Amino acid sequence: MTSAPENSPGDPTKQGKLYSSALAALEGISNDATVLVAGFADCGIPQNLLRGLAESGVSGLTLICQGAWIKEPGDFTVSDLVASGQVRKMISPMPFHPMHGGAVKEQWESGELEIEIVSQGVLAERLRAGGAGIGGVFLPSSSGTRFAEGKEVRQYGGCEHVLELALKADFALLRAQAADTLGNMVYDGTARNWNPTMAMAAGVTVVEVDAVHDPGGIDPELVITQAIFIDRLVLSD
């Protein structure tokens, strides 16, 4: 499924959904926004969009992501955004590497950064619920643990299930191998990770891509995320 290209008075050089820069593609993001950031370890991270977010100067952000991992020289990751002081809270299964905590661990220990730990499977289901317009889901994984404290519990099939509320964000920052100007997305192997789920769970979905094709330039059998879920595109460096 595809959607028609949109016009953007804020970026007159835009073609279809393709914007001229990461900063232009983040137009409208504001202080205290909730932002989904795709990527797993060092795979599928929208580094240019994260740089654009830092350049925008917005603060008080809540980031929902896999976490900040060990980075290579020259990389720009969630850890760098936290170090800039722009992040107020992270919701993550593993917010920092246990041996290389970096800025995330430092700010958490100092009380500057709030962290909400959510197991990976629960995070996936909460995002899926947000994308599907469901208020929440009952899951068994946190039953009997501290993660169930203060949450509604019901019995299903003889097992306790805990209510986990849906997650939705203002913006989602994603990474893909290729797209057409309509926004149909193709991923590179495991770099797909969180991208398809997060694409559905935000008000504005922005994708950093290696290549952009005219409509019809991508084999429809390879499309994973359809254009209807994508609002803006920007080329990677």
- d(CA 218, CA 221) in angstroms, rounded, equals 8
Residues 6 or more apart from 201 whose CB is under 8 A from it? 36, 127, 128, 130, 131, 167, 168, 169, 172
pLDDT tens-place string over residues 194-207? 999 999 999 999 99
Q: pLDDT value at position 14?
A: 61
In the predicted structure, residue 1 carries a pLDDT above the cut 50: no
**What average pLDDT does range 171-184 have in this prediction?**
96
Instruction: Provide the token pair at 93.
Output: 């299964």
In the predicted structure, residue 224 carries a pLDDT above the cut 60: yes
Q: Which helix (H) or strand (E) holds 117?
A: strand 114-117
- d(CA 200, CA 207) in angstroms, rounded, equals 12
Q: pLDDT value at position 100?
A: 81
Q: Where does the pLDDT of residue 11 fall: very low under 50, low under 70, confident under 90, or very high at 90 and above? A: low
Instruction: Provide the token pair at 76.
Output: 């720009």
- Helix residue spans in 57-136 (DSSP H): 78-83, 102-110, 120-132
In the predicted structure, residue 210 carries a pLDDT above the cut 90: yes
End-to-end CA distance of the chain: 28
pLDDT tens-place string over residues 120-173? 999 999 999 999 999 999 999 989 999 999 999 999 999 999 999 999 999 999
pLDDT tens-place string over residues 79-119? 999 999 999 999 999 998 888 888 999 999 999 999 999 99
List, in order of start, the domains of the chain with CATH numbers. Answer: 22-235 (3.40.1080.10)
- Measured in residues, the chain has a length of 237
Q: Which of 168, 175, 182, 181 lies closest to 210, judged by CA?
A: 175
- d(CA 198, CA 205) in angstroms, rounded, equals 8
How many H-runs (helices) and E-runs (strands) does the chain carry?
6, 11
Whether the CB-CB separation of 233 and 17 falls below 8 Å is answered with yes
Q: pLDDT value at position 123?
A: 95
pLDDT tens-place string over residues 63-74? 999 988 777 778
- d(CA 50, CA 237) in angstroms, rounded, equals 13
